[in-house]
Amino acid sequence: MAARADACSPLDSDGLFNEMQARKNWPSGGPPAVFDLRHADAYAKQHVRGAFHATVSPDDGELTVAGGSGWFDKAVCVYDETAESLDDHPVVVKLRADARARRVYFLTETYEAFHARYPFLCARGSSSSAMKRPPAYPSCIIPGLLYLGDLEDAAALPRLREHLNIRHAVTALADPPQSLKASVAEAKVDHTWCNVRDVEGGDIKEHFDKAIGAIERGSAKGHAVFVHCSRGVSRSASLCIAYLMKARKMSAAD
C-alpha cells in the first residue's frame, strides 16, 4: 500500500496531458485516475474523458467515486471549477488519510482551461466516449513545439496533426517500417530520417544537427515537431536532449 502523501502535487494542463500518456509498464504505474470534483450537473454535462465524479458524504465522511474503484494504489489527479490548491478539499483529505492513492495531483487550472487546451481529451457526459480513456499521444517536451514518442504514436500522425498541429516528424530508426511511411504520406507531414541503429556503438551525435534543424524549421513556421524511434526512450530522447542543450542552452542537469 502506498504511503500517505502529505500534500497534493500541482499539475498544469500540459502536465496532466503528459501524465495521461503514461504506459502501464512505466515506473509511474501508468496514467492516473482522474477525479472530477465539480457539481454533479457540470460533470454530467462534460468532463475529462475517463474521469470519475468524486464526492465525500457530509453525513459519514465516506468517499464515493461514481462508476469506479480501480484507482487503488494508483496516482490520482483531481480538478475542480477553480484553479486554487485543493489540499483542503474533502475528497483530497480523504484520499490522503486513507492512503489508497499512490500519489495525489491537482490541476492548477480550471476545467474550462484544460478543455480549451485539450478539447480532444474531454467529452460530453452523454457521449459514448465519456468514460473511455482517449488514445495515447506522444509526451509533450515543449508545448506546441516538441513531442517525443514511439512507433505506435508515429502510426497515428494524421490524428497528431489534427490535434497537436504536428506537421513534421523526425524518425531515428535504421529501417523505417511501411506503416510509418504510410502514416507520413497520409498525414502529409514533412519527414526527416536519421538512419541510426539501436546498438551500443551507434553514433547518434552525427544526427544532432539534422534533427535540430528540423525542429527549428518547425518552430519558425509555428508548427509542432514529433521525434520518435521504436520505443521513444533512447535514440529519439537523445535527439530531444541535444535540441534542448544546443538550441535552448539548457544544462545537462536541467
pLDDT digits (tens, 9 = 90+) for 137-152: 999 999 999 999 999 9
pLDDT score at 87: 86
Place of cell 478539499: 89
Higher-confidence residue: 2 or 120? 120
pLDDT score at 4: 46
The whole model's pTM is what? 0.90
Question: Does residue 194 carry a catalytic annotation?
Answer: no
Tell the burial category of 88 from Cβ atoms under 10 Å away from its Cβ (0-12, 13-18, 19+). Answer: exposed
For residues 48 and 155, give the distance between their C-alpha atoms in angstroms, rounded to a whole number: 24
Question: In the predicted model, is pLDDT for residue 89 greater than 80?
Answer: yes
Question: In the predicted model, is pLDDT for residue 1 greater than 70?
Answer: no
pLDDT score at 69: 67
Q: Is 109 in contact with 32 (CB distance < 8 Å)? A: no
Question: In the predicted model, is pLDDT for residue 3 greater than 60?
Answer: no
For residues 152 and 138, give the distance between their C-alpha atoms in angstroms, rounded to a whole number: 9
Question: In the predicted model, is pLDDT for residue 193 greater than 80?
Answer: yes
Q: Binning pLDDT at 50, 70 and 90, where does residue 251 land? A: very high
pLDDT score at 2: 43
Tell the burial category of 220 from Cβ atoms under 10 Å away from its Cβ (0-12, 13-18, 19+). Answer: exposed
Q: Residue 64: enclosing H or E segment and its boundaries?
A: strand 63-66
Q: Which of 77, 122, 194, 229 is catalytic?
A: 229
φ and ψ of 103, to 5 deg = -155, 150
φ and ψ of 16, to 5 deg = -65, -40
Q: Which amino acid is at 19?
A: E
Q: Binning pLDDT at 50, 70 and 90, where does residue 29 land? A: confident
Question: What is the rounded average pLDDT of the residues 162-182?
Answer: 96
Question: What is the rounded average pLDDT of the residues 116-123?
Answer: 97
pLDDT score at 125: 94
**pLDDT tens for residues 48-70?**
999 999 999 988 889 999 876 67
Pairing of strands 46-48, 52-56: unpaired
Task: Pick the most confident of 8-12, 63-67, 91-95, 120-124.
Answer: 120-124
pLDDT score at 27: 77
For residues 210 and 221, give the distance between their C-alpha atoms in angstroms, rounded to a whole number: 17
Question: What is the rounded average pLDDT of the residues 181-192?
Answer: 97
Question: In the predicted model, is pLDDT for residue 100 greater than 90?
Answer: no
